[in-house]
Amino acid sequence: MTAAADYGARSLWLDTLAAPIVPRPQLHGDRAADVVIVGAGFIGLWTAYCLARAAPALDIVVLEAEIAGFGAAGRNAGFMSAGIAGQPRAYVARGGWEGVRRAERAMIEGIDHVGEVVAREGIECGWAKAGSLRIATSQAQLERVRAGLDSRRERGLGESDLQLLDAGEVASRVRVSGAVGGAYTPHCARVHPGRLVRGLAEACERAGVQIFERSRVCRIEEGRARCAAGTVRAPIVVQATEAFTVDLPGRHRDFMPVFSHMVATEPLDDHTWSQIGWEGCETVADQRHLFTYAQRTVDGRIAIGGRGAWYRMGSAIRAADERPPAVHAALERTLRAWFPAGADAAITHRWGGVFAVPRDWSMSIEFDRATGLARAGGLAGHGLVASSLCGRTLADLILGRDSELASLPWVGHRSGRWEVEPARLVAQRLITAVLAGADRIEDAGRGPAKRARLVRRFAPSR
Ligand SMILES: Cc1cc2nc3c(=O)[nH]c(=O)nc-3n(C[C@H](O)[C@H](O)[C@H](O)COP(=O)(O)OP(=O)(O)OC[C@H]3O[C@@H](n4cnc5c(N)ncnc54)[C@H](O)[C@@H]3O)c2cc1C
């Protein structure tokens, strides 16, 4: 268990909450409930919130190993975007291309659903729905922007969903040095994820949910979730543990826990911002194979991340891997190259977090009424909107509602298990090395790197 005082040091977001972190009570002794949810990240909290709102009489308990927002929820880049986890074709087997189109539309609409909850619950999380810029800093990246646009057009997304931009149009929004073009989608909001997840936990409590923190579940079984100091018995048990699932008995190969890292500057002054532009607070990501992403934060910093796919032998999740100096140094170099006007800004925060990568990169949502066991996860780097869909969908499934969400192709999807070690480590290192090599070739203007095309299907999706 982490010392209470250390939680704020885990990311910019946990360090800049509206109020200091005071851990909630721990579970002591046994207790009965109607629903017990394991994990207070976005998946667990959205599930609790949606269930509590839809069925206020339910007694809902959330058990969290550390604090709400300790995991990826409190460390991510704050892109509330419509991208789906994995390659769209992976979902075709369940519902065909029409199912994929419905899933993509649900993600787009899901952004506004989150926005409505943010407004209704008064969660001050810097919500700015200004869209997202996909920038290309080489001709090879520009080709991928065009290819991505073509395939989205084929799936029915129009000009109002995604537009191609030339270099001048990119610069009119954000002056990223070296950008040769890109694309813009209005379907993205910028958020302070720490304030969102902590605000959502409070909204759950207002709706009657009880959250226990620093209460690690050691066993999830039919009818109960067991901690060292107590057990919650409930006919419905929801597993919402994402990357940390690998530490649960029998779940070691369900996901590959992959690190992504970020750094943030001090707040920049008005003069620097006038040189950079970025008045709309669009989120920004490039098209490298190991891509970089950035947001203008609500308190006027640049937070930038990526460069990643860091994985530790045996799926180990270690606090020591949250701050790898080489990865953070590479991010700082990209920051200063993209924004020369901010080149002198001090870096005040460096952090990392783990997301859950399923064997086929595709998310899944399941509820077995016979056993009462439910789970959702495998959201990879796309969990902000997807987690709210998970919560709404699990609420529908648990309450027996025959909804559109319950018919989307990730419901009932099974991803398969990762290979045993050392095969898992070797494959991951090989793929990352090929992608990093391809990025170097393309950055040097010698792309596109053809070898990378083959392995891109296993690469972080965007
Ligand atoms: C650096 C980074 C940048 C990212 N950027 C974006 C982005 O811009 N947009 C986007 O959509 N997605 C992004 N993601 C991915 C996104 O954050 C995740 O997909 C999403 O947060 C995962 O869902 P979650 O919040 O429920 O998971 P988590 O926050 O990991 O929640 C799991 C929770 O379960 C708890 N837990 C685990 N095991 C137990 C146990 N045994 N008992 C009790 N509790 C337990 C953990 O402590 C944790 O709080 C990013 C991720 C990272 C790491």
pLDDT tens per residue across span 153-197: 999 899 999 999 999 999 999 999 999 999 999 999 999 999 999
Looking at the CA of residue 44, tell me the nearest atom of ligand 1: 26
What DSSP state is assigned to residue 239? E
- Give the number of other Cβ atoms within 10 Å of residue 348's Cβ: 14
390 CA → ligand 1 middle, Å:
13
Residue 453 pLDDT grade (very low, low, confident, very high; cuts 50, 70, 90): low
- Whole-number pLDDT of residue 330: 94
Residue ranges of alpha helices (H) inside 55-156 are 96-121, 139-154
pLDDT digits (tens, 9 = 90+) for 240-254: 999 999 999 999 999
Strand (E) or helix (H) holding 295: strand 292-296
Contact 191, 384 (CB under 8 A): yes
Residue 361 pLDDT grade (very low, low, confident, very high; cuts 50, 70, 90): very high
Verdict on whether the full-model pTM lies above 0.85: yes
In the structure encoding, which two tokens stand for residue 324, read together?
A: 């790898």
State how far the alpha carbon of 58 is from the alpha carbons of 49, 52, 53, 190, 208, in Å: 11, 7, 9, 33, 9
341 CA → ligand 1 middle, Å:
33
Looking at the CA of residue 69, tell me the nearest atom of ligand 1: 49
CB-neighbour burial class of residue 118 (10 A; exposed 0-12, middle 13-18, buried 19+) = buried
- In the numeric block, the tokens 């017990």 are attached to 36
- Whole-number pLDDT of residue 452: 55
pLDDT for residue 460 is more than 50: no
Contact 238, 44 (CB under 8 A): yes
In the structure encoding, which two tokens stand for residue 130, read together?
A: 């200004």
204 CA → ligand 1 middle, Å:
18
**Which residue's CA is the nearest one to ligand 1's atom 53?**
353
Which of 324-328, 386-390, 394-398 has the weakest average pLDDT? 324-328
**Ligand 1 site: residues with CB under 6 angstroms?**
38-44, 63-66, 70-73, 75-79, 81, 216-217, 240-244, 248, 260, 262, 305, 353-355, 379, 381-384, 387
Residue 310 pLDDT grade (very low, low, confident, very high; cuts 50, 70, 90): confident
Mean pLDDT in residue range 430-456: 77
**Which residue's CA is the nearest one to ligand 1's atom 50?**
76
Looking at the CA of residue 379, tell me the nearest atom of ligand 1: 19
pLDDT digits (tens, 9 = 90+) for 67-103: 999 999 999 999 999 999 988 888 998 889 999 999 9
d(CA 108, CA 69): 24
pLDDT digits (tens, 9 = 90+) for 364-373: 999 999 999 9
247 CA → ligand 1 middle, Å:
14
Best mutation site among 7, 67, 76 for ligand 1 pocket (most ligand atoms within 8 Å of CB): 76
Cβ neighbors of 322 (< 8 A, separation 6 or more) are 10, 259, 261, 351, 352, 353
